[in-house]
Amino acid sequence: MNPVTRIQSRTVVLPTTDIDTDQLIPARFLTTTSREGLGQYLFHDLRFDASGNADPDFALNKPEADGCGILVAGNNLGCGSSREHAPWALLDYGFQAVVSTEIADIFRNNSLKNGLLPIVVDADTLQYLLQNPGISLDIDVAQATLALPDGKTIEFPIDGFARHCLTEGLDQLGYLLQHETRISAFEASRPWKP
């Protein structure tokens, strides 16, 4: 994973609440055995009609959405399935961060594991972002701050360990495997065996 330290990009906005992972990437695209190239399926059934024509009214299809790296969405983004294909598709499409007032547990966890930054903000900040699509944000991961174009800076919560792994580009599996001795000792010491 590449280190993620600073994200400077414009936003694209989807005000809908409870955007689930089936909308992020429909299940029929999960028959892949690779994590590459899933951006083409991101929001597939919202971006395209049944004949494969792009819906010009969908936010991601608008010309001004080109190059936007930050997705701002209504409350409870990423609810539903545990499919990691959702953050894989967002990253492959070009997103680096997602912002909402609430981000579902498994999706948030999957995002952090892949270098997609999930940012939870308060309701007023979300309202501002939803009402001002396309503005540039400057996100400092180490400081856990998000700067608005008017210079106002907002802190967001992020687990210290997850932040460390993001900014250093660390693979958490390596950290786990360093604890092999402790894991073996735990197995040996258990009063019952699974």
Partner 1 sequence: MASARTLFEKVWSDHVVVEETADTPAILYIDLHLIHEVTTPQAFNVLHEKGLRVRRPDLTLATMDHSTPTTPVTSFKDMAVVVGENAANQVRRMQENCDAFGLELLGFDSDQRGIVHVIGPEQGATQPGKTIVCGDSHTSTHGAFGALAFGIGTTEVGHVLASQCLLQRKARTLVLSIDGDLPNGVSSKDLILAIIGQIGVDGGTGHVIEFRGGTISAMDMDSRMTICNMSIEAGARAGMIAPDDHTFEYLAGRPRAPQGADWDRAVARWRTLKSDDDAVFDKSVTISADEMQPMVTFGTNPGMVIGVNDPVPDDDGDPSFRKALDYMQISAGKPLTNTGVDVVFVGSCTNSRLSDLQQAADVVEGHKVADGVRMLVVPGSQQIKKDAEAIGLDRVFTAAGAEWRESGCSMCLGMNGDTVNSGQLSVSTSNRNFEGRQGIGARTILASPMTAAASAIAGRVADPRPFISKGK
Q: What is the secondary structure of 58-87 as a DSSP string? A: SGGGSGGGTT--EEEE-SSBTBS---THHH
User: Residue from 5, 9, 10, 15 that binds partner 1 (CB under 8 A)?
Assistant: 15
Site for partner 1 in 94-113 (CB under 8 A): 102, 104-106, 109-110, 113
The SS3 call for residue 12 is strand
User: Residue from 5, 10, 20, 61 that binds partner 1 (CB under 8 A)?
Assistant: 20
Name residue 37's beta-bridge partners: none
Site for partner 1 in 54-73 (CB under 8 A): none
- DSSP-derived letter for residue 29 is G
Choices 10-18, 56-64, 91-99, 149-157; region in contact with partner 1 by CB under 8 A: 10-18
Q: Two tokens at 11?
A: 């936003």
34 binds partner 1 (CB under 8 A): yes
160 binds partner 1 (CB under 8 A): yes
Name residue 137's beta-bridge partners: 9
User: Residue from 80, 92, 94, 167 that binds partner 1 (CB under 8 A)?
Assistant: 80
Cβ 163 to partner 1, closest distance in Å? 10
Going 182 to 188 to 192 to 194, the CA torsion angle's sign is: positive
User: Residue from 4, 42, 59, 83 that binds partner 1 (CB under 8 A)?
Assistant: 83
User: Measured between alpha carbons, how far is 65 from 9 in angstroms, rounded to an integer?
Assistant: 11
User: Measured between alpha carbons, how far is 163 from 17 in angstroms, rounded to an integer?
Assistant: 26
Identify whether the C-beta of residue 103 lies closer than 8 Å to the C-beta of residue 78. yes
- Is 101 or 125 the residue whose CB approaches partner 1 more closely? 101
Interface with partner 1 by CB under 8 A: which residues?
Answer: 15-18, 20, 22-23, 26-28, 30-35, 45, 50, 74-76, 79-84, 102, 104-106, 109-110, 113-114, 159-161, 164, 172-173, 175-177, 179-180, 182-183, 186-187, 192, 194
